[in-house]
Amino acid sequence: MKILSDIAALVTGMWITWKHIFRRPVTIQYPEEKRTPYPRYRARIVLTRDPDGGERCVACQLCSGACPVDCITMQSAEDKDGRRYAEWFRINFSRCIFCGFCAEACPTLAIQMTPDFEICKRDIMDLVYEKEDLLIDGCGKSPDYNYYRHAGIGVTQPRGSGAEEKPPVDVRGLLP
């Protein structure tokens, strides 16, 4: 009898919802209860420093180029020793979609995502972060990496003394 199975279906449904009334709600009461985001959670962006304390960012514009919403701008400059840095560096968090492409693109691991997602502001202009707001005193998620130790150009150390780097070959000495 179809009607009997229909009624049985109704009763089953009602029974299931009845049971759910007494379940513990899964709601997390946000401002009072917070769940800890995973370490790789993508939220507020920071600029990190290398283990020596120098700024990692070399103002190469790769993050800016990778950003799908074009919210990173900077001005590059060069120190007397030839080390490049960003004169100013600006991320507009009101446009950022927290995709993490900038962090993926960065060759020096300077720009990194952090799990701090609570960056709401009353005034939208406060969401434009300048370099002072972005730069942190630490290495972030990659404590040992120092770009210039691997780059092999004589900026922070003479050529040939970087990690995994052989001394330069005297090309004239190779002549037959």
Contact footprint for another protein (CB under 8 A): 10, 13-14, 16-18, 20-27, 29
Q: Which stretch binds ligand SF4 (CB under 6 A): 30-38, 105-113, 130-138, 165-173?
A: 105-113
Q: Which stretch binds ligand SF4 (CB under 6 A): 3-11, 29-37, 106-114, 149-157?
A: 106-114
Of 11 and 77, nearer to another protein (C-beta) is 11
Q: Which stretch binds ligand SF4 (CB under 6 A): 22-30, 54-62, 131-139, 165-173?
A: 54-62
Is residue 110 within the footprint of ligand SF4 (CB under 6 A)? yes
Of 26 and 163, nearer to another protein (C-beta) is 26
Is residue 71 within the footprint of ligand SF4 (CB under 6 A)? yes
DSSP the chain: -HHHHHHHHHHHHHHHHHHHHTSPP----TTTS-PPPPTT---SEEE-B-TTS-B------HHHHH-TT--EEEEEEE-TTS-EEEEEEEEETTT-----HHHHH-TTS-EEE-S------SSGGGGEE-HHHHB-SS-TT-TT--HHHHH-SSSSS-TT-STT-PPPP-GGGG--
